[in-house]
Amino acid sequence: MKTDRTESGKLTPEYCAWANMNARCENTNRHDYKHYGGRGISVSDLWRHDYWRFLADMGRRPSAEHSLDRWPNPNGQYGPGNCRWANKIEQARNTRQTRFLTAFGETRPLREWAELKQINHMTLKSRLSFGWSPERALTEHLQTADERRVLVLKCVERQVAKRMEREMSYAL
């Protein structure tokens, strides 16, 4: 297969992304195979052996800050409809650990909602753990320092209670 090279003869970033995508999913000797092929992540039949199809579907990456990302399903396969060029922030918000929140009919990562609504992400997380609706948690602002202290104390009390519960279950 003919490779994609720059004018200076180097492999293009897109070709390297395609080759690395395949290797992560198929080469059991790679250090990161366990996070990709080892978890069942695969490359679609359309892209596995056809770099030019991959390039036609993905286009050139927008900048050197972008890399290949499985989105919107980080557990899905690499293929048309589940990949994008993403920067580091977008990639960090699209992991197995990312907590998503649906509010106002829209789903976003919790940290993205916090930034959008100018709320500390830990405050948002605490509000949700207290049973607030997503809409209330995103729109209701604390009025006083005393109210903030009460919220923090309740959060700490809940964490201590959970820890004690775990420790007691281990003792039995």
In Å, what is the CA distance from 58 to each residue of 13, 18, 19, 89?
12, 10, 14, 19
Q: What's the CA gap between 21 and 78, in Å, rounded?
A: 8
- Domain range list for the chain: 1-96
CB atoms within 10 A of CB 59: 9
For each of the chain's 172 residues, which pLDDT tens digit applies?
566 776 677 899 999 999 999 999 999 999 999 999 999 999 999 999 999 999 999 999 999 999 999 988 888 999 999 999 999 999 988 888 888 999 999 999 999 999 999 999 999 999 999 999 999 999 987 666 777 788 788 888 989 988 888 888 776 6
| pTM for this entry | 0.66
**Residue 43, number of CB atoms within 10 A of its CB:** 22
**The residue to which tokens 């060029």 are assigned:** 85
Provide the token pair at 51.
Answer: 């770099």
